[in-house]
Amino acid sequence: MKKPIFTGAATAIVTPFCGYSIDYDKMAELIEMQYKGGISALIVCGTTGENATQPISEHEKLVDFCVKKTAGRMKVIAGVGSNDTMTSVRLAESAKLSGADGILMVTPYYNKTTQRGLVQHFTTVADRVDIPMILYNIPSRTGIGITADTYKILSQHPNINGVKEASGDFSLFSRTRALCGDDLFFWSGNDDNTIPMMSMGALGVISVASNIVPQVVTDMCKFCLNGDFKSATELYFKYADLFEKLFIEVNPIPVKTAMNLLGMNVGNLRLPLCDMAPENLEKLKKSLIGVGLELK
């Protein structure tokens, strides 16, 4: 019987840069902040970590660093998504060698594929590397989504553990839950979908907002896991505007900007990601102040 890689809140952690290099001292600080905030797992080299602009050697070094610094206190899940299946195989092999607890694999982007191709794409990696895999469904970014029937097929693979579901399609989620039961675990891929998804059996969230407010996201998930959706909802309402503003531009532009505004000094974005538009920056500042956070 499968067991979920984690329950509760996981952070899709940013990658702090100093020019063209990773700031590993800052990365170590961020890991400690996440641990103190009660976070259950870190997603390293995901979308929020700007993995699309990371060379393979840098990607592998960062995963290895995070595994060592986390030292078993939180789960470490390495992003291995690619539109080249064999690149995903290599990244998955490297993640396992480093001691990662799991991998996160997004649907292939740009070249895309059919549903039959998706099954082959994911199972090729799952067959070759014995490490738990979380699928990542976000058609708004990749241009291709996973259907409920495809989820059912993939759920039968022993190494496919669950799904970061970020389509926002609750009908898809409910149909898939009914089809797959406990053969496939679910986590919300959007901060604003966490509570409704957990009310239907999701086990937590892979969060962007927890880069800034890890304890808030941790507490919200704990309330849900304990069946206290009233308290979870009250907490969500307090931070709902911030959750929205963190996606006012393409992720991770707003969250990295917010972290720098709060004095966390996570450095620059890598092109093609760029600085926020001035009008959006002001909205983000207002939202941060509105939840009681202090700008530096």
**Distance, CA of 186 to CA of 173 (rounded, Å):** 9
Neighbours of 70 (CB within 10 A): 22
Q: Which of 26, 69, 75, 164 is catalytic?
A: 164
Which residue is associated with the tokens 């020019």? 19
Q: Which of 26, 75, 136, 236 is catalytic?
A: 136
Based on the residue annotation, tell me whether 230 is a catalytic residue of this protein: no
Based on the residue annotation, tell me whether 164 is a catalytic residue of this protein: yes
DSSP the chain: ----S--EEEEE----EETTEE-HHHHHHHHHHHHHTT--EEEESSTTTTGGG--HHHHHHHHHHHHHHHTTSSEEEEE---SSHHHHHHHHHHHHHHT-SEEEEEPP-SS---HHHHHHHHHHHHHHS-S-EEEEE-HHHHS----HHHHHHHHTSTTEEEEEE-S--HHHHHHHHHHHGGGSEEEESSGGGHHHHHHTT--EEEESGGGT-HHHHHHHHHHHHTT-HHHHHHHHHHHHHHHHHTTSSSTTHHHHHHHHHTT----PPPTT--PPPHHHHHHHHHHHHHTTPPP-
**Distance, CA of 217 to CA of 283 (rounded, Å):** 22
Rg (CA), the chain: 18
Query: Which residues carry out catalysis?
Result: 136, 164
